């Protein structure tokens, strides 16, 4: 009898312990995070162990619509820089297709929310390609399958949704100018890394730059647009190639066939940028010995788009003058690589800093100000701009830079280089090479 009592007690004890363990282990499967912590608990090296488990995450929704893949970011600033976001500062979002009519993530763009959903690995092709260098945890995605588990914490919109803008509606007079045949060629580039990082503002930059070039004597046949997977967000301008190694090479080869030693070449680089290991040490010079090249990012590619690669390709083109407008983060890092006589390079910031969109988030800050200076008007408002400081009726690249520098709204320092040495400056000479170069 006594033995039986002990046995029963033991059984109850063992069962209780087992239940405690069970409840502990099931608790453990439900991760709960706050904004301040980032998403490191979910996006750990062992994140795949949590797949199919429920997780709770807080942050700001980034959902631009169209082909854009939605995500949550820890802070609004994470969306407002053109740098690759650290893995712990964002997590991808997906809505169960059955709920497509009930939950439109675009309606939450810029708002702070708390989401409880199921952890998955995204099947998006471009995310899987970029995971080769971003890491496997970049595939982590929270799938929302219960509308009641998407809760707004802060209804204030912290960043706007990029608006659709048509160049000819904004600049009807410029759009009516007839294109003269001239020896000018241009390459407009924007990769964007993957479907969650390729923002609409890059497309606005490309569209407005394309038409501005047309109005300044660049024929359509002499402009090549390299963008994302080779398809535009609308049909306002053509897209010629995908932003991958082949697309960039093909664009350069095409333009090379139309250029000679009298050509003027305009090169606009857009999208994200970030430092990466400098395998051949060619970016080290003077006081810079950080062994870092700059990666200016392809789209849907496992490769990185090195400044070395860009310079090697561009330097094989025959030309008289070159204008470079470089928007990505760490954009100043291209100045050294593209150094040479008769070249003017304008960048959004230094070799070591992140850079931003304009205040409305519709263009890059650098590109918005460049377009304003050249076209004499804001791209998205009636406000006129006079960047022609010497009143000769034309805006030189020097004058455009001075306008850009004086108009800067963000914590970035646009750089300029026109002396052929590959050094950047913020106070160029008013009689330097760039003062005589026009779009």
Q: What are the residues binding Ca ion (CB under 5 A)?
A: 278, 280, 282-283, 292-294, 307-308, 333, 337, 388, 390, 392, 394, 399
Minimum distance of Ca ion from residue 392's CB (angstroms): 4
| Dist. CA 71–CA 79, nearest whole Å | 10
Which of 229, 399 has the CB closer to Ca ion? 399
CA distance linking residue 64 with residue 376, whole number of Å: 29
Which residues are within 8 A (CB) of 154 and not within 5 positions of it... i.e. 6 or more apart? 111, 112
Q: Is 210 left (phi over 0), alpha (psi -120 to 50) or beta?
A: alpha
Q: State which residue, 295 or 367, has the beta carbon closest to Ca ion.
A: 295
Closest distance to Ca ion from the beta carbon of 398 (Å) = 8
Rounded least distance, CB 388 to Ca ion, Å: 4
Residue 301 bridge partners (DSSP): none
Q: How far is the CB of 436 from Ca ion (least distance, A)?
A: 10
- Please state the separation of Cα 437 from the chain's center in Å: 28
Min dist CB 307 to Ca ion, Å, is 4
Q: Closest Cα to residue 59, out of 77, 79, 74?
A: 74
In Å, the largest CA–CA distance within the chain is: 110
- Please identify, using beta-carbon distances, which residue of 225 and 292 lies nearer to Ca ion: 292
Which residue, 236 or 399, is less far from Ca ion as judged by CB?
A: 399
Residues 224-233 as b/e (b if ≥16 CB within 10 A, e otherwise) read: bbbbbbbeeb
Shortest spacing between CB 399 and Ca ion, in angstroms: 5
User: Which residue's CB is nearer to Ca ion, number 89 or number 283?
Assistant: 283
Q: Are 90 and 39 in contact (CB under 8 A)?
A: yes
Say how far apart CA 374 and CA 359 lie, in whole Å: 19
Q: Are 321 and 267 in contact (CB under 8 A)?
A: no
Residue 138 or 396 having the CB closest to Ca ion: 396
Q: Rounded distance, CA 105 to CA 71, Å?
A: 9
By beta-carbon proximity to Ca ion, the closer residue of 65 and 376 is: 376
Smallest distance, Ca ion to C-beta of residue 270, A? 17
């Amino acid at each position: 009898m006594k033995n039986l009592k002990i046995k029963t007690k033991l059984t109850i004890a063992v069962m209780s312990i087992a239940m405690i363990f069970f409840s502990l282990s099931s608790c453990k499967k439900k991760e709960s995070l706050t904004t301040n912590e980032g998403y490191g608990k979910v996006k750990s090296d062992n994140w795949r162990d949590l797949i199919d488990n429920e997780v709770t995450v807080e942050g700001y929704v980034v959902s631009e619509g169209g082909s854009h893949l939605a995500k949550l970011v820890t802070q609004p600033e994470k969306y407002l820089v053109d740098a690759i976001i650290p893995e712990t500062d964002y997590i991808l979002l997906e809505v169960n297709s059955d709920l497509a009519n009930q939950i439109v993530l675009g309606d939450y763009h810029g708002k702070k929310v708390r989401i409880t959903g199921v952890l998955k690995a995204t099947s998006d092709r471009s995310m899987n390609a970029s995971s080769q260098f971003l890491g496997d945890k970049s595939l982590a995605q929270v799938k929302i399958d219960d509308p009641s588990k998407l809760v707004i914490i802060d209804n204030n919109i912290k960043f706007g949704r990029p608006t659709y803008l048509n160049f000819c509606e904004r600049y009807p007079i410029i759009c009516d100018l007839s294109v003269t045949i001239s020896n000018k060629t241009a390459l407009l580039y924007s990769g964007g890394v993957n479907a969650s990082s390729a923002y609409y503002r890059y497309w606005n930059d490309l569209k407005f730059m394309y038409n501005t070039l047309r109005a300044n004597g660049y024929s359509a046949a002499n402009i090549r647009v390299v963008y994302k997977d080779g398809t535009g967000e609308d049909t306002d301008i053509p897209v010629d190639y995908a932003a991958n190694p082949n697309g960039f090479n093909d664009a350069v080869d095409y333009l090379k066939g139309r250029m000679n030693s009298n050509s003027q070449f305009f090169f606009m680089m857009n999208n994200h940028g970030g430092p990466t290991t400098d395998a051949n040490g060619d970016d080290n010079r003077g006081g810079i010995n950080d062994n870092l090249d700059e990666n200016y990012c392809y789209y849907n590619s496992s490769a990185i788009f090195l400044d070395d690669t860009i310079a090697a390709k561009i330097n094989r083109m025959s030309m008289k003058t070159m204008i470079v407008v470089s928007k990505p983060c760490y954009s100043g890092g291209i100045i050294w690589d593209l150094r040479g006589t008769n070249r003017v390079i304008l960048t959004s910031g230094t070799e070591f800093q992140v850079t931003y969109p304009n205040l409305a988030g519709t263009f890059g800050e650098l590109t918005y100000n460049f377009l304003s200076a050249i076209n004499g008007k804001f791209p998205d408002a009636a406000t006129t701009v006079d960047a022609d400081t010497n009143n000769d009726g034309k805006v030189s690249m020097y004058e455009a830079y001075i306008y850009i520098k004086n108009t800067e709204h963000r914590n970035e320092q646009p750089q300029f280089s026109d002396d052929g040495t590959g050094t950047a400056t913020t106070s160029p000479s008013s009689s330097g090479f760039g003062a005589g170069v026009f779009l």
